[in-house]
Homo-oligomer: A and B are copies of this chain.
């Protein structure tokens, strides 16, 4: 299941970025499971990675190679996460980098590795090595859609977003692809997103643009409250324009935020077993911390998520989820709850004038905005989540991730 349109946008060429896809047979035969991204020399790359302490071997290696600041290739495999694999996992990730560097004419530190799939199985290095030449042969600057398909695991659809804008007379493109469906509660990034642009931006600015836009996109979504071991989001800028000035950077950041948010939302729309796309707006909070605490308390609640799955306007469960959040001295009389504009609760109970009919109609929609006003201040935060369905249980009781 998935919610909303499965449309994958037309993506423009980004000068200096080529993508190639191959079949390594890592988990299934005849399945695109290996993607190589080649970056022209001089491309600057910023990254954010999972905060899970058990972060995967490729995350360790990618962080180290990224610090060398000369990335030329990204190699991404699906079907195996190379996580929970100890020292052998680190050696395997480096072996893939070495093989790619040798085949492509670089050094091992030029390669950033990424893996997604089952945790705890040894990475099939030989199969990946054997498929690398095919991926290099396939490199082309118009293969964003193929790469978007090549990085999927339990996803049911590829996820892409793109924006084009004119800055100081030059055309700036931003293309992004992402994968992710379960084990989604990113903390710094999500598993996996790759965003490219032809813009010229210095490295520190690029990193802070990525961190800022991640905060309000991938760090604001949850499918199941579980933070993956492999999350990573990379921003690659090929420096083909004039260096962006302050005004250009502001406009670039808005466009980047739009791409990042669209990708994050696409992950929720394709959340494991999702039948609903839920936006949670917490308003009138005293600060960011309590707004997010309430929003995620609702977004993580199995009882809220099963009620949404059942299209049940069960406002009692929403109040329960608000009330269990760690917010000191919450005055429940001031809390207001609305679903798609229908006021369900206020003054600690059912709203005056609320009818079950109106509530049922609101919650029957595939896309639902939950608005909670706390009556404590002026801070607002927004997060996105999906519902909890039978299919979520089936997928995760059957699939070994």
B-contacting residues of A (Cβ < 8 Å)?
51-55, 81, 83-89, 118-120, 182-183, 185, 187, 224-229, 300-303, 306-307, 309-310, 312, 314-317, 319-325, 327, 330, 332, 335, 345, 347-350, 388-390, 392-394, 396-398, 400-401
Question: In chain B, what residue has the closest Cβ to A226?
Answer: B303
Q: Which residues of B contact A350 (CB under 8 A)?
A: 84-86, 120
Q: Which residues of B contact A398 (CB under 8 A)?
A: 310
Distance from A221 Cβ to chain B, minimum over Cβ atoms (Å): 15
Is the pair B226, A120 in contact by a Cβ cutoff of 8 Å? no
Cα separation A139 to B324 with both chains bound (whole Å): 36
Cα separation A86 to B119 with both chains bound (whole Å): 48
Given contacts A89-B349, A323-B55, contact A316 B81 (CB under 8 A): yes
Question: In chain B, what residue has the closest Cβ to A396?
Answer: B306
Q: Which residues of B contact A332 (CB under 8 A)?
A: 53-54
Is the pair A54, B396 in contact by a Cβ cutoff of 8 Å? no
Is the pair A309, B54 in contact by a Cβ cutoff of 8 Å? no
Number of identical protomers: 2
Given contacts A316-B118, A317-B119, contact A323 B53 (CB under 8 A): yes
In-complex Cβ contact of A84 among B301, B327, B349, B400 (8 A): B349
Given contacts A226-B320, A315-B84, A393-B389, contact A120 B349 (CB under 8 A): yes
Cα separation A204 to B183 with both chains bound (whole Å): 46
Q: Which residues of B contact A302 (CB under 8 A)?
A: 224-226, 302, 388, 392, 396
Distance from A346 Cβ to chain B, minimum over Cβ atoms (Å): 9
Q: Which residues of B contact A390 (CB under 8 A)?
A: 390, 393-394
Q: Which residues of B contact A309 (CB under 8 A)?
A: 393, 397
Distance from A33 Cβ to chain B, minimum over Cβ atoms (Å): 19
Q: Which residues of B contact A119 (CB under 8 A)?
A: 314, 316-317, 319-320
Is the pair B83, A324 in contact by a Cβ cutoff of 8 Å? no
Is the pair B229, A120 in contact by a Cβ cutoff of 8 Å? no
Is the pair B347, A226 in contact by a Cβ cutoff of 8 Å? no
Sample 6 A-B pairs with CB under 8 A, ordered by A number.
A52-B324, A85-B349, A119-B320, A182-B303, A185-B324, A393-B393
Question: In chain B, what residue has the closest Cβ to A311?
Answer: B397
Given contacts A89-B349, A348-B84, contact A321 B226 (CB under 8 A): yes
Question: What are the 4 A-B residue pairs with the smallest beta carbon separation, nearest first?
Answer: A119-B316, A54-B323, A86-B349, A310-B397
Q: Which residues of B contact A303 (CB under 8 A)?
A: 182-183, 224, 226, 396, 401
Distance from A397 Cβ to chain B, minimum over Cβ atoms (Å): 4
Is the pair A187, B324 in contact by a Cβ cutoff of 8 Å? yes
In-complex Cβ contact of A86 among B324, B327, B348 (8 A): B348
Is the pair A320, B54 in contact by a Cβ cutoff of 8 Å? yes
Is the pair B349, A300 in contact by a Cβ cutoff of 8 Å? no
Question: In chain B, what residue has the closest Cβ to A54?
Answer: B323
In-complex Cβ contact of A316 among B84, B345, B349, B392 (8 A): B84
Distance from A313 Cβ to chain B, minimum over Cβ atoms (Å): 10
Distance from A334 Cβ to chain B, minimum over Cβ atoms (Å): 11
In-complex Cβ contact of A315 among B120, B185, B389 (8 A): B120
Is the pair A54, B310 in contact by a Cβ cutoff of 8 Å? no
Question: In chain B, what residue has the closest Cβ to A327?
Answer: B53
Question: In chain B, what residue has the closest Cβ to A335?
Answer: B54
Distance from A179 Cβ to chain B, minimum over Cβ atoms (Å): 17
Q: Which residues of B contact A335 (CB under 8 A)?
A: 54
Q: Which residues of B contact A324 (CB under 8 A)?
A: 51-53, 185, 187, 226-227
Most buried by B among A227, A314, A388, A397: A397
Is the pair B227, A320 in contact by a Cβ cutoff of 8 Å? yes
Q: Which residues of B contact A300 (CB under 8 A)?
A: 225
Q: Which residues of B contact A228 (CB under 8 A)?
A: 320
In-complex Cβ contact of A83 among B227, B316, B325, B396 (8 A): B316
In-complex Cβ contact of A54 among B183, B306, B348, B388 (8 A): B348
